[in-house]
Amino acid sequence: MLLPTKLVCRVNKIRRDGTSVIFILYSGKKEKQILLNTGKAIPPKYWNHKFNRISPTLPSIYGNPQELNKYVTNCQNIANKILEFAIEHQINDIPKFVKGIYKPDFDLELLPFMAKQLDEDDPHKNFNLNFQMEEYIKSKLGSVSPRMITNYRNMRDIFISYETFCGQIHTYKDIHYSFYTKFLRFLTYEYVQRRRSDYVDNVKQPIRGLRTSTIGKVIKHFRMFVKNRIAHKYFPPIDLSKFTSPDEESDAIYLTPDEIKKIYQTDLSTYPELMVDRDMLVLGCLTGLRISDFASIDCVEDIRNNSIFKKQQKTDKWVVIPLLGIAKEIVDRYKSQFPKLSEPIFNLNIKTIGSLAGICDTIKFSYKKGTKKIVQVKPKYGWITSHTCRRSFCTNEFLASTPVELIMNISGHKSHRDFFRYIRVTPMEAAEKIKVLWESRSEQNKGA
Protein backbone atom coordinates (compact mmCIF):
# COMPACT_ATOMS: atom_id res chain seq x y z
CA MET A 1 0.00 0.00 0.00
CA LEU A 2 1.44 3.36 -1.05
CA LEU A 3 1.00 5.76 1.86
CA PRO A 4 1.32 9.57 1.63
CA THR A 5 4.17 10.08 4.09
CA LYS A 6 7.61 11.51 3.64
CA LEU A 7 10.47 12.70 5.82
CA VAL A 8 10.98 16.47 5.95
CA CYS A 9 13.32 18.93 7.66
CA ARG A 10 11.76 22.40 7.68
CA VAL A 11 14.19 25.22 6.93
CA ASN A 12 11.71 27.81 8.23
CA LYS A 13 11.64 26.32 11.73
CA ILE A 14 15.18 26.64 13.06
CA ARG A 15 15.74 26.25 16.80
CA ARG A 16 18.03 28.30 18.98
CA ASP A 17 20.88 25.80 18.57
CA GLY A 18 20.70 26.08 14.76
CA THR A 19 19.02 22.73 14.19
CA SER A 20 15.63 21.79 12.76
CA VAL A 21 13.55 18.78 13.76
CA ILE A 22 13.07 15.97 11.25
CA PHE A 23 9.36 15.26 10.86
CA ILE A 24 7.22 12.69 9.11
CA LEU A 25 4.74 14.61 6.95
CA TYR A 26 1.41 12.92 6.32
CA SER A 27 -1.08 14.38 3.87
CA GLY A 28 -4.10 12.35 2.80
CA LYS A 29 -6.36 13.27 -0.12
CA LYS A 30 -9.17 14.63 2.05
CA GLU A 31 -7.40 15.07 5.39
CA LYS A 32 -5.36 17.92 6.72
CA GLN A 33 -1.59 17.63 6.90
CA ILE A 34 0.01 16.49 10.13
CA LEU A 35 3.63 16.40 11.27
CA LEU A 36 4.95 13.54 13.39
CA ASN A 37 8.10 14.25 15.39
CA THR A 38 10.98 11.78 14.98
CA GLY A 39 12.78 13.30 17.96
CA LYS A 40 15.92 13.96 15.90
CA ALA A 41 17.24 17.34 14.71
CA ILE A 42 20.08 18.48 12.44
CA PRO A 43 21.17 21.75 10.81
CA PRO A 44 18.83 22.00 7.79
CA LYS A 45 21.67 22.52 5.32
CA TYR A 46 22.64 18.85 5.84
CA TRP A 47 19.21 17.61 4.74
CA ASN A 48 18.99 16.27 1.17
CA HIS A 49 15.55 17.48 0.04
CA LYS A 50 15.74 15.51 -3.21
CA PHE A 51 16.10 12.12 -1.56
CA ASN A 52 14.63 13.09 1.87
CA ARG A 53 17.71 11.85 3.69
CA ILE A 54 20.48 13.21 5.91
CA SER A 55 23.61 14.09 3.99
CA PRO A 56 26.68 11.91 4.68
CA THR A 57 28.63 15.17 5.26
CA LEU A 58 26.76 15.78 8.55
CA PRO A 59 29.35 16.68 11.24
CA SER A 60 29.82 13.91 13.80
CA ILE A 61 28.76 16.25 16.63
CA TYR A 62 25.16 15.76 15.44
CA GLY A 63 25.47 11.97 15.19
CA ASN A 64 26.28 9.32 12.64
CA PRO A 65 24.34 10.11 9.42
CA GLN A 66 23.93 6.44 8.47
CA GLU A 67 22.51 5.52 11.89
CA LEU A 68 20.29 8.61 11.96
CA ASN A 69 18.88 7.82 8.50
CA LYS A 70 18.13 4.28 9.68
CA TYR A 71 16.41 5.65 12.80
CA VAL A 72 14.17 8.20 11.05
CA THR A 73 13.28 5.66 8.36
CA ASN A 74 12.18 3.30 11.12
CA CYS A 75 10.04 6.13 12.57
CA GLN A 76 8.42 6.53 9.15
CA ASN A 77 7.77 2.77 8.99
CA ILE A 78 6.03 2.93 12.39
CA ALA A 79 3.87 5.83 11.16
CA ASN A 80 3.00 3.88 8.01
CA LYS A 81 1.96 0.80 10.01
CA ILE A 82 -0.33 2.93 12.19
CA LEU A 83 -1.78 4.50 9.02
CA GLU A 84 -2.42 1.08 7.51
CA PHE A 85 -4.19 0.07 10.71
CA ALA A 86 -6.34 3.24 10.67
CA ILE A 87 -7.30 2.75 7.02
CA GLU A 88 -8.03 -0.97 7.49
CA HIS A 89 -10.32 -0.24 10.46
CA GLN A 90 -11.97 2.73 8.72
CA ILE A 91 -11.11 5.25 11.41
CA ASN A 92 -13.18 8.39 10.85
CA ASP A 93 -10.50 10.98 11.64
CA ILE A 94 -7.26 9.37 10.51
CA PRO A 95 -4.93 12.36 11.18
CA LYS A 96 -6.24 12.72 14.73
CA PHE A 97 -5.93 8.98 15.36
CA VAL A 98 -2.39 8.74 13.97
CA LYS A 99 -1.16 11.82 15.85
CA GLY A 100 -2.67 10.53 19.09
CA ILE A 101 -1.04 7.10 18.76
CA TYR A 102 2.30 7.71 17.04
CA LYS A 103 5.51 7.82 19.09
CA PRO A 104 9.05 7.17 17.77
CA ASP A 105 9.28 4.18 20.12
CA PHE A 106 5.70 2.95 19.61
CA ASP A 107 5.43 -0.83 19.95
CA LEU A 108 3.64 -2.09 16.84
CA GLU A 109 2.62 -5.23 18.72
CA LEU A 110 0.06 -3.04 20.52
CA LEU A 111 -2.00 -2.58 17.35
CA PRO A 112 -3.80 -5.94 17.56
CA PHE A 113 -4.85 -5.08 21.12
CA MET A 114 -6.21 -1.74 19.92
CA ALA A 115 -8.35 -3.44 17.28
CA LYS A 116 -10.30 -5.13 20.06
CA GLN A 117 -10.98 -1.81 21.79
CA LEU A 118 -12.10 0.29 18.84
CA ASP A 119 -15.79 1.17 18.80
CA GLU A 120 -16.16 4.33 16.71
CA ASP A 121 -15.69 7.63 18.54
CA ASP A 122 -18.29 7.08 21.24
CA PRO A 123 -16.83 7.73 24.72
CA HIS A 124 -19.66 5.64 26.19
CA LYS A 125 -18.43 2.59 24.24
CA ASN A 126 -14.69 3.08 23.79
CA PHE A 127 -13.09 2.43 27.17
CA ASN A 128 -9.49 2.74 25.96
CA LEU A 129 -7.85 5.02 28.57
CA ASN A 130 -5.77 6.79 25.94
CA PHE A 131 -8.93 7.60 23.96
CA GLN A 132 -10.72 8.76 27.11
CA MET A 133 -7.77 10.99 28.01
CA GLU A 134 -8.05 12.68 24.62
CA GLU A 135 -11.78 13.24 25.23
CA TYR A 136 -11.03 14.58 28.71
CA ILE A 137 -8.46 17.06 27.37
CA LYS A 138 -10.86 18.23 24.65
CA SER A 139 -13.55 18.82 27.28
CA LYS A 140 -11.17 21.07 29.23
CA LEU A 141 -10.15 23.31 26.33
CA GLY A 142 -11.27 26.87 27.02
CA SER A 143 -12.23 26.20 30.64
CA VAL A 144 -8.71 25.89 32.09
CA SER A 145 -5.44 27.67 31.37
CA PRO A 146 -3.17 26.56 28.49
CA ARG A 147 -0.64 25.53 31.14
CA MET A 148 -3.12 23.08 32.67
CA ILE A 149 -3.84 21.64 29.21
CA THR A 150 -0.09 21.09 28.87
CA ASN A 151 -0.08 19.27 32.23
CA TYR A 152 -2.92 17.01 31.07
CA ARG A 153 -1.13 16.23 27.81
CA ASN A 154 2.09 15.43 29.67
CA MET A 155 0.14 13.00 31.87
CA ARG A 156 -1.36 11.39 28.75
CA ASP A 157 2.04 11.07 27.03
CA ILE A 158 3.58 9.49 30.13
CA PHE A 159 0.68 7.04 30.34
CA ILE A 160 1.15 6.07 26.68
CA SER A 161 4.82 5.38 27.47
CA TYR A 162 3.67 3.12 30.30
CA GLU A 163 1.37 1.17 27.97
CA THR A 164 4.22 0.77 25.50
CA PHE A 165 6.52 -0.38 28.32
CA CYS A 166 4.14 -3.08 29.60
CA GLY A 167 2.75 -4.01 26.14
CA GLN A 168 -0.87 -3.59 27.12
CA ILE A 169 -3.76 -1.31 26.22
CA HIS A 170 -5.65 -0.35 29.38
CA THR A 171 -9.35 0.28 30.04
CA TYR A 172 -11.18 1.42 33.18
CA LYS A 173 -11.33 -2.26 34.27
CA ASP A 174 -7.55 -2.13 34.79
CA ILE A 175 -7.68 0.75 37.28
CA HIS A 176 -7.05 -0.98 40.61
CA TYR A 177 -4.41 -0.94 43.32
CA SER A 178 -2.13 -3.42 41.55
CA PHE A 179 -2.19 -1.16 38.46
CA TYR A 180 -1.35 1.84 40.68
CA THR A 181 1.71 0.15 42.23
CA LYS A 182 3.04 -0.95 38.82
CA PHE A 183 2.45 2.50 37.32
CA LEU A 184 4.20 4.10 40.32
CA ARG A 185 7.22 1.85 39.90
CA PHE A 186 7.39 2.65 36.18
CA LEU A 187 7.34 6.39 36.91
CA THR A 188 10.05 6.01 39.55
CA TYR A 189 12.52 3.76 37.77
CA GLU A 190 11.63 3.05 34.14
CA TYR A 191 10.17 6.15 32.46
CA VAL A 192 12.71 7.61 30.00
CA GLN A 193 12.68 11.40 30.16
CA ARG A 194 12.35 13.14 26.82
CA ARG A 195 14.79 15.84 25.74
CA ARG A 196 16.96 15.10 28.78
CA SER A 197 20.06 12.97 29.06
CA ASP A 198 23.17 12.58 31.18
CA TYR A 199 26.77 11.65 30.50
CA VAL A 200 28.37 8.64 32.17
CA ASP A 201 32.06 8.19 31.35
CA ASN A 202 31.56 10.64 28.45
CA VAL A 203 28.79 8.43 27.02
CA LYS A 204 25.35 9.97 26.56
CA GLN A 205 22.77 8.07 28.58
CA PRO A 206 18.99 8.55 28.90
CA ILE A 207 17.65 9.66 32.27
CA ARG A 208 15.23 7.10 33.72
CA GLY A 209 12.68 7.85 36.39
CA LEU A 210 11.02 11.01 37.64
CA ARG A 211 11.38 13.00 40.84
CA THR A 212 9.00 12.22 43.69
CA SER A 213 7.33 15.63 43.34
CA THR A 214 6.81 15.13 39.58
CA ILE A 215 5.36 11.66 40.13
CA GLY A 216 2.93 13.22 42.61
CA LYS A 217 1.69 15.62 39.93
CA VAL A 218 1.22 12.82 37.38
CA ILE A 219 -0.82 10.73 39.86
CA LYS A 220 -2.82 13.81 40.86
CA HIS A 221 -3.79 14.56 37.24
CA PHE A 222 -4.55 10.88 36.59
CA ARG A 223 -6.95 10.87 39.56
CA MET A 224 -8.61 14.05 38.27
CA PHE A 225 -9.05 12.43 34.85
CA VAL A 226 -10.64 9.26 36.27
CA LYS A 227 -12.96 11.22 38.59
CA ASN A 228 -14.09 13.32 35.61
CA ARG A 229 -14.90 10.21 33.57
CA ILE A 230 -16.82 8.73 36.50
CA ALA A 231 -18.76 11.97 37.04
CA HIS A 232 -19.81 11.97 33.37
CA LYS A 233 -20.76 8.27 33.63
CA TYR A 234 -18.22 7.11 31.05
CA PHE A 235 -16.68 4.90 33.78
CA PRO A 236 -18.47 3.11 36.61
CA PRO A 237 -17.50 4.08 40.21
CA ILE A 238 -13.85 3.23 40.94
CA ASP A 239 -12.17 3.24 44.36
CA LEU A 240 -9.24 5.67 44.15
CA SER A 241 -8.67 5.96 47.90
CA LYS A 242 -5.29 4.20 47.71
CA PHE A 243 -4.10 6.20 44.68
CA THR A 244 -2.10 8.59 46.84
CA SER A 245 0.17 11.23 45.31
CA PRO A 246 3.78 10.96 46.53
CA ASP A 247 5.05 14.32 47.66
CA GLU A 248 8.10 16.03 49.06
CA GLU A 249 8.83 19.61 49.94
CA SER A 250 10.48 21.11 46.89
CA ASP A 251 13.78 22.91 47.21
CA ALA A 252 13.52 26.30 45.53
CA ILE A 253 15.18 29.65 45.92
CA TYR A 254 13.76 33.13 46.21
CA LEU A 255 15.34 36.48 45.35
CA THR A 256 15.79 39.01 48.14
CA PRO A 257 14.79 42.67 47.60
CA ASP A 258 18.48 43.57 47.24
CA GLU A 259 18.98 40.85 44.60
CA ILE A 260 15.88 41.97 42.69
CA LYS A 261 17.18 45.54 42.70
CA LYS A 262 20.62 44.32 41.63
CA ILE A 263 19.12 42.43 38.69
CA TYR A 264 17.08 45.48 37.66
CA GLN A 265 20.13 47.73 37.74
CA THR A 266 22.41 45.34 35.83
CA ASP A 267 23.77 46.88 32.64
CA LEU A 268 22.44 44.84 29.72
CA SER A 269 23.47 47.22 26.96
CA THR A 270 25.67 44.45 25.54
CA TYR A 271 22.71 42.04 25.69
CA PRO A 272 19.68 44.13 24.60
CA GLU A 273 17.72 40.97 23.76
CA LEU A 274 17.61 40.17 27.51
CA MET A 275 16.08 43.46 28.65
CA VAL A 276 12.44 42.42 28.21
CA ASP A 277 12.97 39.16 30.13
CA ARG A 278 14.81 41.08 32.88
CA ASP A 279 11.90 43.51 33.24
CA MET A 280 9.32 40.71 33.36
CA LEU A 281 11.36 38.78 35.93
CA VAL A 282 11.51 41.82 38.20
CA LEU A 283 7.83 42.66 37.65
CA GLY A 284 6.88 39.09 38.58
CA CYS A 285 8.91 39.29 41.79
CA LEU A 286 7.20 42.57 42.75
CA THR A 287 3.61 41.57 41.92
CA GLY A 288 3.44 37.82 42.58
CA LEU A 289 1.71 37.12 39.26
CA ARG A 290 2.31 33.86 37.42
CA ILE A 291 4.05 34.01 34.04
CA SER A 292 0.75 33.04 32.39
CA ASP A 293 -0.79 36.17 33.95
CA PHE A 294 1.85 38.88 33.69
CA ALA A 295 2.74 37.71 30.17
CA SER A 296 -0.84 38.29 29.05
CA ILE A 297 -1.55 41.70 30.56
CA ASP A 298 -3.83 43.86 28.42
CA CYS A 299 -2.62 47.44 28.80
CA VAL A 300 -6.08 48.89 28.13
CA GLU A 301 -8.25 46.58 30.23
CA ASP A 302 -5.89 45.41 32.98
CA ILE A 303 -4.02 48.57 33.98
CA ARG A 304 -5.82 51.52 35.55
CA ASN A 305 -5.57 53.75 38.60
CA ASN A 306 -1.90 52.76 38.99
CA SER A 307 -2.91 49.15 39.64
CA ILE A 308 -3.07 45.83 37.78
CA PHE A 309 -6.57 44.34 37.63
CA LYS A 310 -6.10 40.73 36.56
CA LYS A 311 -8.19 37.57 36.51
CA GLN A 312 -5.75 34.78 37.29
CA GLN A 313 -5.85 32.03 34.68
CA LYS A 314 -5.16 29.19 37.12
CA THR A 315 -7.58 30.14 39.91
CA ASP A 316 -10.09 32.16 37.84
CA LYS A 317 -9.90 34.76 40.63
CA TRP A 318 -9.63 38.53 40.30
CA VAL A 319 -6.71 40.28 42.00
CA VAL A 320 -5.85 43.97 42.25
CA ILE A 321 -2.16 44.80 42.69
CA PRO A 322 -1.05 48.41 43.34
CA LEU A 323 1.89 49.57 41.25
CA LEU A 324 4.66 51.44 43.03
CA GLY A 325 8.30 52.26 42.37
CA ILE A 326 10.08 49.89 39.99
CA ALA A 327 6.91 47.92 39.20
CA LYS A 328 5.14 51.08 38.02
CA GLU A 329 8.24 52.09 36.06
CA ILE A 330 8.24 48.75 34.20
CA VAL A 331 4.50 48.80 33.47
CA ASP A 332 4.76 52.38 32.14
CA ARG A 333 7.57 51.24 29.83
CA TYR A 334 5.30 48.64 28.20
CA LYS A 335 2.04 50.59 28.25
CA SER A 336 1.63 50.35 24.50
CA GLN A 337 1.89 46.55 24.49
CA PHE A 338 3.08 43.94 26.94
CA PRO A 339 5.50 41.37 25.51
CA LYS A 340 4.37 37.80 24.84
CA LEU A 341 6.74 35.36 26.52
CA SER A 342 7.79 31.80 25.75
CA GLU A 343 8.27 30.13 29.13
CA PRO A 344 11.15 27.81 28.06
CA ILE A 345 13.09 30.72 26.52
CA PHE A 346 12.23 32.95 29.49
CA ASN A 347 13.56 30.33 31.93
CA LEU A 348 16.77 30.07 29.95
CA ASN A 349 17.31 33.82 29.67
CA ILE A 350 16.65 34.69 33.32
CA LYS A 351 19.43 32.32 34.39
CA THR A 352 21.80 34.24 32.12
CA ILE A 353 20.52 37.52 33.60
CA GLY A 354 21.08 36.22 37.13
CA SER A 355 24.64 35.28 36.21
CA LEU A 356 25.32 38.73 34.73
CA ALA A 357 23.88 40.29 37.90
CA GLY A 358 26.29 38.30 40.05
CA ILE A 359 23.66 36.16 41.83
CA CYS A 360 26.29 33.47 42.25
CA ASP A 361 26.09 32.11 45.81
CA THR A 362 26.49 28.33 45.83
CA ILE A 363 23.19 26.58 46.58
CA LYS A 364 22.85 22.87 47.32
CA PHE A 365 19.49 21.13 47.00
CA SER A 366 18.43 17.50 47.14
CA TYR A 367 15.46 15.54 45.91
CA LYS A 368 14.28 11.93 46.03
CA LYS A 369 14.02 9.48 43.15
CA GLY A 370 12.47 6.39 44.68
CA THR A 371 14.55 5.67 47.78
CA LYS A 372 17.62 7.37 46.35
CA LYS A 373 18.60 10.88 47.42
CA ILE A 374 20.00 13.03 44.60
CA VAL A 375 22.10 16.08 45.54
CA GLN A 376 22.67 18.96 43.12
CA VAL A 377 24.95 21.94 43.60
CA LYS A 378 24.63 25.06 41.41
CA PRO A 379 25.22 28.82 41.61
CA LYS A 380 22.03 30.54 42.74
CA TYR A 381 21.31 31.92 39.25
CA GLY A 382 21.15 28.32 37.99
CA TRP A 383 18.07 27.71 40.15
CA ILE A 384 16.10 30.74 38.93
CA THR A 385 12.87 29.88 37.06
CA SER A 386 9.64 31.67 36.24
CA HIS A 387 8.20 30.30 39.50
CA THR A 388 10.93 32.15 41.43
CA CYS A 389 8.88 35.31 40.87
CA ARG A 390 5.94 34.17 43.01
CA ARG A 391 8.13 32.57 45.66
CA SER A 392 10.12 35.80 45.92
CA PHE A 393 6.99 37.93 46.22
CA CYS A 394 5.40 35.73 48.91
CA THR A 395 8.59 35.28 50.93
CA ASN A 396 9.62 38.94 50.83
CA GLU A 397 6.14 40.12 51.81
CA PHE A 398 6.04 37.59 54.65
CA LEU A 399 9.43 38.75 55.95
CA ALA A 400 8.20 42.34 55.71
CA SER A 401 5.33 41.37 58.08
CA THR A 402 2.56 41.81 55.51
CA PRO A 403 -0.49 39.94 56.89
CA VAL A 404 -0.58 36.43 55.46
CA GLU A 405 -4.24 36.77 54.43
CA LEU A 406 -3.39 39.76 52.22
CA ILE A 407 -0.49 37.91 50.58
CA MET A 408 -2.71 34.86 49.95
CA ASN A 409 -5.33 37.12 48.41
CA ILE A 410 -2.84 37.89 45.64
CA SER A 411 -0.96 34.58 45.51
CA GLY A 412 -4.16 32.54 45.29
CA HIS A 413 -3.23 30.02 48.00
CA LYS A 414 -6.36 28.51 49.52
CA SER A 415 -4.86 27.29 52.81
CA HIS A 416 -2.21 28.46 55.27
CA ARG A 417 -0.60 25.02 55.01
CA ASP A 418 0.00 25.41 51.28
CA PHE A 419 1.19 28.98 51.73
CA PHE A 420 3.79 28.17 54.37
CA ARG A 421 5.12 25.30 52.27
CA TYR A 422 5.48 27.76 49.42
CA ILE A 423 7.54 30.50 51.03
CA ARG A 424 11.28 30.14 51.53
CA VAL A 425 12.74 31.44 54.80
CA THR A 426 16.22 30.47 55.96
CA PRO A 427 16.79 29.61 59.67
CA MET A 428 18.71 32.89 60.06
CA GLU A 429 15.85 34.91 58.54
CA ALA A 430 13.36 33.15 60.80
CA ALA A 431 15.54 33.94 63.82
CA GLU A 432 15.77 37.61 62.83
CA LYS A 433 11.99 37.82 62.39
CA ILE A 434 11.40 36.26 65.81
CA LYS A 435 13.95 38.65 67.32
CA VAL A 436 12.07 41.67 65.94
CA LEU A 437 8.77 40.32 67.29
CA TRP A 438 10.28 39.67 70.73
CA GLU A 439 11.82 43.13 70.88
CA SER A 440 8.49 44.67 69.86
CA ARG A 441 6.69 42.64 72.51
CA SER A 442 9.27 43.68 75.12
CA GLU A 443 8.75 47.37 74.29
CA GLN A 444 4.98 46.96 74.59
CA ASN A 445 5.37 45.28 78.00
CA LYS A 446 7.56 48.15 79.22
CA GLY A 447 4.96 50.65 78.09
CA ALA A 448 2.28 48.76 79.95
User: Given this model, what pLDDT does residue 410 score?
Assistant: 81
Q: Are residues 31 and 101 in the same domain?
A: yes
Q: Are residues 85 and 146 in the same domain?
A: no
Whether residue 234 lies inside any domain: the answer is yes
Q: How many helices (H) and strands (E) does the chain have?
A: 16, 12
Instruction: List, for residues 289-314, the tens digit of each pLDDT value.
Output: 888 787 678 777 788 888 888 877 76
Query: Which of 75-89, 158-172, 433-447 shows the lowest per-residue confidence on average (mean pLDDT)?
Result: 433-447
Q: Can you tell me the mean pLDDT for 76-99?
A: 83
Which of the residue ranges 42-51, 250-259, 364-373 would you say has the lowest mean pLDDT?
364-373
- Mark which of 88, 106, 124 sits at the end of a domain: 106
Residue 431 pLDDT exceeds 70:
yes
pLDDT of residue 124: 55
> Per the structure, how many domains does the chain have?
3
C-beta separation of 283 from 355 below 8 A? no
The answer on 318 and 221 residing in a single domain is no
pLDDT higher than 80, residue 132: yes
Which domain covers residue 416, as residue numbers? 257-443
The reported pLDDT for the residue numbered 210 is 87
Task: Look at residue 376 and tell me if it is in a domain.
Answer: yes
Q: Which stretch of 122-131, 151-160, 211-220 has the lowest confidence by average pLDDT?
A: 122-131
Is residue 227 scored above 50 in pLDDT?
Answer: yes
- Kindly indicate the confidence band of residue 137, based on its pLDDT and cuts at 50, 70 and 90: very high
Q: What is the model's pLDDT at position 196?
A: 65
Q: What is the pLDDT of residue 176?
A: 93
Q: Taking residues 22-38, report their average pLDDT.
A: 80
Query: Does the pLDDT of residue 418 top 60, yes or no?
Result: yes
Between 40 and 422, the more confident residue is: 40
- Does residue 372 have a pLDDT over 60? yes
Domain stop point among 81, 106, 131: 106
| Residue 137 within a domain | yes
Angle formed at CA 402 by CA 438 and CA 299, multiple of 5 degrees: 165
Buried b (16+ CB within 10 A) or exposed e, 371-392: eeeeeeeebbbbbbbbbbbbbb
* Domain CATH for 430: 1.10.443.10
Examine the pLDDT at 85 and tell me if it is beyond 80.
yes
**What per-residue confidence (pLDDT) applies to 246?**
83
Co-location of 385 and 339 in the same domain: yes
State whether 115 and 92 are in the same domain. Answer: no
Element (H, E) at 40: strand 34-42
Q: Does the structure show a pLDDT above 50 at 120?
A: no
Name which residue leads in pLDDT, 326 or 424. 326
Per DSSP bridges, beta strands 307-311 and 318-322 are antiparallel
In a shared domain, residues 270 and 369: yes
How do 203-208 and 303-304 pair as beta strands?
A: unpaired
Instruction: Pick the range with the lowest mean pLDDT from 49-63, 150-164, 198-212, 312-326.
Output: 198-212
Residues 433 and 292 in one domain: yes
**Same domain (yes/no): 285, 403:** yes
Q: Do 242 and 315 belong together in one domain?
A: no
Mean pLDDT of the chain: 84
**Quick check: is 389 in a domain?**
yes
pLDDT tops 50 at residue 425 = yes
Does residue 270 lie within any of the structural domains?
yes
Q: Residue 109: pLDDT above 90? A: no
pLDDT value, residue 368: 66
Residues 386 and 300 in one domain: yes
Predicted pLDDT of residue 66: 94
The pLDDT value recorded for residue 439 is: 76
Indicate the range of 83-87, 276-280, 289-293, 363-367 predicted with least confidence.
363-367
270 shares a domain with 413: yes
Ordered DSSP codes for 276-318: HHHHHHHHHHHH---HHHHTT--TTTTEETTEEEEE-TTT--E
Of 32-41, 67-76, 112-121, 335-344, the poorest mean pLDDT is in: 112-121
Asked if residue 200 has pLDDT above 60, the reply is no
pLDDT(326) > 50: yes
* 448 in any annotated domain: no
| Averaged pLDDT for residues 74-89 | 88
The predicted structure's pLDDT at residue 233? 86
Provide the percentage of residues in the chain whose pLDDT is more than 70: 86
Give 366's strand partners: 375
Of 90, 106, 122, which one is at a domain's C-terminal end? 106
Q: Based on the fold, state whether residues 234 and 285 are members of the same structural domain.
A: no
